[in-house]
Amino acid sequence: LFVGSALVNMYAECNLLADARHCFNRLSFQDIPLWNALVAGYVACGDSQEALKMYELMHTAGASSNEVTFVCILKACGSVGVSEKGQAAHTELTQRGFTYNLYLGNALLDMYAKCGSLSEAWEVFVSLEVRDVISWNTIIKGYGANHNGIVAVQVFEDMQKHRVQPDAITFTCLLTACSRSSLVIKGQELFKSMSEEFGIEPSIHHYNCIIDLHARSGRIHEAQKFLQTMPCSPS
């Protein structure tokens, strides 16, 4: 079964879902991680609808599910962007008595953020007993993606008060937030601070964010200048 599961997982990772499914069907019995591998495979290759169908199929096949299943399902719901499905999953996992570990809590948070349900996302965020850098990044990104850059920056300040060290991803989330809310000065400030205050060297991701920041607010020349002077080759 372990080998079979590894195979399903390998096929799924390589976007060979048909092979994964064939392998899955040939196994004498299917346990939860095996189902999960298949569901995760569909999510990974962007076929969230099929992932959700697989979840239905788990029910009809009489299989149970665990926390990992819900992490996958929540991710699929976030990709689809319709909060009803996600809410249903949320209700179900609460009824099942699952407590939020970081994976589950962060996945739930991200699902609501991706669906634009920021008040629900925030509720989940504050209800987490333990938060890691991913939790903070996810809520910052959530506000940023929904044109609430000012709140995103406030949450970042809050993060520092909680003595959580930001990472490279924190800054892509922040810079995107500034970009989408036209916070050009703040974005440049943050970009400067990442290496000077936080010791994080900007990568191509961050340079791209800055170019987007300028371009989106109509500063084409600034964007061009930045593009030409940045120390790595454009992607």
Of these, 48, 146, 179, 181, which contacts RNA (CB under 7 A)?
179
> Which residue of 87, 205, 227, 230 would you call a contact of RNA, by CB under 7 A?
205
Name which position in 106, 117, 146, 181 contacts RNA (CB under 7 A).
106
Q: Do residues 82 and 115 touch, judged by C-beta distance below 8 A?
A: yes
Among 102, 164, 227, 230, binds RNA (CB under 7 A): 102
Amino acid at 211: I
Question: How many other C-beta atoms lie within 10 A of the C-beta of residue 173?
Answer: 25
By the rule CB under 7 A, 17 interacts with RNA = no
128 contributes a contact to RNA by CB under 7 A = no
Q: Does 152 bind RNA (CB under 7 A)?
A: no
Minimum separation from the CB atom of position 37 to RNA (A): 4
Q: Single out the residue of 146, 176, 181, 223 in contact with RNA (rule: CB under 7 A).
A: 176
- Angstrom distance (rounded) from CA 193 to CA 176: 15
Q: Which is nearer to RNA, 34 or 115 (CB)?
A: 34
86 neighbors 94 (Cβ within 8 angstroms): no
Among 169, 188, 217, 227, binds RNA (CB under 7 A): 169
Q: Whole-angstrom Cα distance, residue 18 to residue 8?
A: 10
Window contacting RNA (CB under 7 A); options: 88-96, 130-138, 151-159, 218-226: 130-138
Residue 93 CB: number of other CB atoms within 10 A?
22
Residue 181 sits in the site that holds RNA (CB under 7 A): no
**Could you say whether residue 168 binds RNA (CB under 7 A)?**
yes
90 makes contact with RNA (CB under 7 A): no
Alpha carbons 213 and 222: distance in angstroms, whole number: 10
Q: Interface with RNA includes 48 (CB under 7 A)? A: no
Q: Which of 42, 51, 67, 120 binds RNA (CB under 7 A)?
A: 67
Helical spans, DSSP H, in the chain: 2-13, 17-26, 32-44, 48-60, 67-80, 83-95, 102-114, 118-127, 133-145, 149-161, 168-180, 184-196, 204-216, 220-229
